[in-house]
Chain A
Amino acid sequence: MEFNLTAFSSSIVQKQAISEIIRCNDFTAEYGFVLTLEQAAELAEARFASLSANGRIEFGGGVIHKIIKEFCDSPYITRYNYAETLHELLKLFYFYKNETLDLLSDDDLIKFMKDSFNNTCCGSIELLAERELDKMANKIRYGYDPFYTEHRHEDHEEDENEQY
């Protein structure tokens, strides 16, 4: 008898994930986004592949529904790139969960991704991955606040100098 974690997660949890993705259609239909059962299955499969690639395990539906709900109102997502963007976001999410040493909660990471995607990255997944998330993960690894900026640090130093 084996208590194989990955084998377990692939069967029951997969079905659970698909049904959760389909349920999200009720919410996203308002924005014109609806995923077919096939697309939902692909997304669930992509999630499983990302989890395995990053050496992680997830029980239940996981974070897909959170990502869908958070990004469905993005001005840079259209019905043509909706499914593809979700795939990419999902991959990035699990990769940066590891890169941030699990120090950031799911909600905070998704929020950071959304803010960066909609603002500084102007909807570019490449910029989000290579620049914003990478910088943020570096800051976390060096013990800084994820939203810490060098400008702020310099300003603070200037203030201190003025005091003298």
Chain B
Amino acid sequence: MNSIDKFVHVDRQKLNEEFYFRSLIEEAFSLGMINEEEVENIQYQCMELLTVKLEKLNKGESSSVRVETAEKIMKSNLYTIGLWLKSLTDADEAIKDIKKTRILLIYERGRKRIDTKLNSARHIHMMVLKNLLKTDNYTYNDTIKDGINGFFKIYNADYEANEIHITADYPLSIPVSRLAGIEFILKYLENVYYENMFCACFSSYDIEHLLFGYSKDYKLLVINIYEIVLTAAIGCKIAEKRALDLNIMPVHRKIIEDALFLKSEEETERIVIKASEELEDELCVNNIYLKQYIKNSLPKVTSSVINAARLNTLENVFVSKKYPELNGKFKYIYGIKMEDELYRSTVEEIIQCRYLSDKLLIIKSKIKSMADMEDLLLDAELTDNEINAVLQGLDAVEAAALAKRHDFREENECDLSKEELKLRNCIEKFINTKTDDQKKFIFKTISLMEDE
């Protein structure tokens, strides 16, 4: 009877994705798949490879390097070797490959694989840029556009293959962990691509308003946009309304609250899953990878919903849209200035006039913009009474616009010309003659005007 060989194999799950080669050798050694002599041989070959790489780096001009440099290159080499070994069918196959192939050759195969992955990453980045969200969120734009471009510029596959050199600050719903170098960037871009694909189902205006509802400082926050959109869309489906407009009103939140009332964690989870399925139907999500991505994102959404239901803070999870244009600042347009020649002749004409009524008549007929009006008040050598008479002809918003530029509440008088000081004083006197309500309106208007 034939003897039965003990079958041992390396468990892929036990291996470290970031330091794959090293963990593979360690695991194989502990299982007795390779002996000490073979391990030493592998180590020796790795050192040989390091020597070759260092010679290339120094161009043969220096026989020694700093230990940190050597260690950095060694890590890069091991990463590249690991990259090739990962591409084999399984870890046992990888061990066989290490035994029969020279490390230098495996490294070269890994190096080619990095090039292939680099090309794939460039392609995905191009697709991501095509599908980029129109948002003012700084981290999103900075990471996805400039950060990744920076990576492609500085990535050094020969000596720092395991480094990314950039900080991928924009957080993903499913963070990339246990990967390094080009593998990290590739996975990161893949995830961003699916998140963008999902967000592209909604209008960018709705997303912006939703983010504004989330926080008025959303532009500066380090947040994952996809997650906020997905949660709001799921909220819409739980509230049994269409999700496309991402519009959750207090009444919808009440429906959600009722739906989640006294529900166990498992029941809440089922409600969220059902809502996500309905959402996929409504948005016609057919891409299986996107479906999988949404599915993988659900546990995070579910736990935040469970917590919010328990703490009665659903308004923080299912946020309502807010419209910055309704309560935000506005920009006052001072208008286009007239031609210099015409302006000079108008000022001259006003200076020549003896009576205030004539001056006012000219101003009324020839001055068409607040920009010209402001210049005129400074250049036309008007007296305090005349300036006051001109100001009387302005409406409250125009007066506020003028007061915004010549704010008498500021104290830097030393920088002002004589005319500017005069105008400032006149505006102050003019506003002081108004009633309290009118004054309040003018000051409110000034505060809402955007700085130029």
Q: Is B39 interfacial (CB-CB < 8 Å)?
A: yes
Q: Does A97 contact B (CB under 8 A)?
A: yes
Interface residues of A in 67-102 (CB under 8 A from B): 94, 97-98, 102
The answer to whether B62 and A1 have CB atoms under 8 Å apart is no
- B66 A55 Cβ-Cβ under 8 A: yes
Chain A neighbourhood of B67, CB < 8 A:
5-6, 55-57
Q: Does B341 contact A (CB under 8 A)?
A: no
What is the 8 Å Cβ interface bit string for chain A, positions 1-15, against chain B (1 contact, 0 not)?
101011010001000
B26 located at the interface, meaning its Cβ lies under 8 Å from any Cβ of chain A in the complex:
yes
Determine if B246 is an interface residue (Cβ-Cβ < 8 Å).
no
- A-facing residues in B47-81 (Cβ within 8 Å): 47, 50-51, 54, 61-68, 70-71, 74, 78
Which of these, B29, B47, B61, contacts A59 with CB under 8 Å? B47
Q: Is B116 close to A, CB under 8 A?
A: no
Distance in Å: Cβ of B368 to nearest Cβ of chain A? 60
- Complex interface: chain A residues within 8 A of B312 (CB): none
Q: Please, which residues of chain A bring their CB within 8 A of the CB of B51? A: 59-60
**Interface members, chain B 287-307 (any A CB < 8 Å):** none
- Tell me the bound Cα distance from A102 to B67 in angstroms: 13
Residues of A within 8 A of B54 (CB): 59
Nearest CB to that of A58 among chain B residues?
A: B64
Bound form: Cα–Cα A57–B66 in Å: 6
What is the chain B residue whose CB lies nearest that of A2? B43
The answer to whether the Cβ of B46 comes within 8 Å of any Cβ in the partner chain is yes
A24 adjacent to chain B (CB < 8 Å): no
| Closest chain A residue to B51, Cβ basis | A59
- Any B CB within 8 A of the CB of A35: no
Contact partners of A98 in chain B: CB under 8 A: 66
B74's partner among A5, A12, A102 (CB-CB below 8 A) is A5
Bound CA–CA A60/B48 (angstroms): 10
Closest to B34 in A: A1
The A-B contact count (CB < 8 A) is 63
For residue B406, CB closer than 8 A to chain A, the reply is no
Contacts of B50 in A (CB 8 A): 5, 59
Residue B22 is within 8 A (CB to CB) of chain A in the complex: yes
Q: Are B71 and A56 in contact (CB under 8 A)?
A: no
Do A106 and B61 touch across chains, with their CB atoms under 8 A apart? yes
Whether, in the assembled complex, B25 has its beta carbon less than 8 Å from a beta carbon of chain A, the answer is yes
**Residue pair A106, B78 in contact (C-beta under 8 Å):** no
Q: Report the minimum CB–CB distance from B29 to chain A (whole Å).
A: 6
Roughly how many angstroms separate A97 CA and B65 CA in the complex, as a whole number? 9
B62 touching A106, Cβ below 8 Å: yes
Q: In the complex, are the beta carbons of B64 and A94 less than 8 A apart?
A: yes
The CA-CA distance from A163 to B64 in the complex, in Å, is 47
CB distance from B382 to the nearest CB of A (A): 58
* Closest-CB distance, B216 to chain A (whole angstroms): 50
User: CB-CB < 8 A to B64: which residues of A?
Assistant: 51, 56-58, 62-63, 94, 97, 106
Q: Determine if A105 is an interface residue (Cβ-Cβ < 8 Å).
A: yes
**Which has the most chain A C-beta neighbours within 10 Å: B25, B51, B67?**
B67
Q: Is the CB of A106 within 8 A of B63?
A: yes
CB distance from A24 to the nearest CB of B (A): 15
- Give the chain B neighbours of A55 by CB distance below 8 A: 66-68
A5 to B, closest residue via Cβ: B70
The residue on A at minimum CB distance from B48 is: A59
Q: Looking at the assembled complex, report how far the CB atom of B60 sits from the nearest CB atom of chain A, in whole angstroms.
A: 9
User: In the assembled complex, how far is the CB of residue B164 from the closest CB belonging to chain A, in whole angstroms?
Assistant: 22
Is the C-beta of A107 less than 8 angstroms from some C-beta in chain B?
Answer: yes
Q: How far does the alpha carbon of A6 sit from the alpha carbon of B46 in the complex, in Å?
A: 14
Contacts of A97 in B (CB 8 A): 62, 64
A3→B103 CA distance, assembly (Å): 14
Contact assessment for B22 and A57 in the assembled complex, using a CB-CB cutoff below 8 Å = no
Q: Which residues of B contact A107 (CB under 8 A)?
A: 61
Q: Evaluate contact between B63 and A8: CB separation under 8 angstroms.
A: no
Roughly how many angstroms separate A56 CA and B68 CA in the complex, as a whole number?
8
Q: Are B61 and A56 in contact (CB under 8 A)?
A: no
Rounded to whole angstroms, the CA-CA distance of A56 and B39 in the bound complex is: 25
Interface residues of A (CB under 8 A from B): 1, 3, 5-6, 8, 12, 51, 55-60, 62-63, 94, 97-98, 102, 105-107
8 A-B pairs closest in CB distance: A105-B61, A58-B64, A59-B51, A56-B64, A57-B70, A62-B63, A55-B67, A1-B25
What are 11 of the A-B contact pairs (CB < 8 Å)? A1-B22, A1-B29, A3-B74, A5-B70, A56-B64, A57-B70, A58-B64, A60-B63, A102-B65, A105-B61, A106-B61
Known: A57-B66, A102-B65. 11 other contacts (CB 8 A): A1-B43, A3-B22, A3-B78, A5-B47, A5-B67, A5-B74, A55-B68, A57-B65, A57-B70, A60-B51, A63-B63
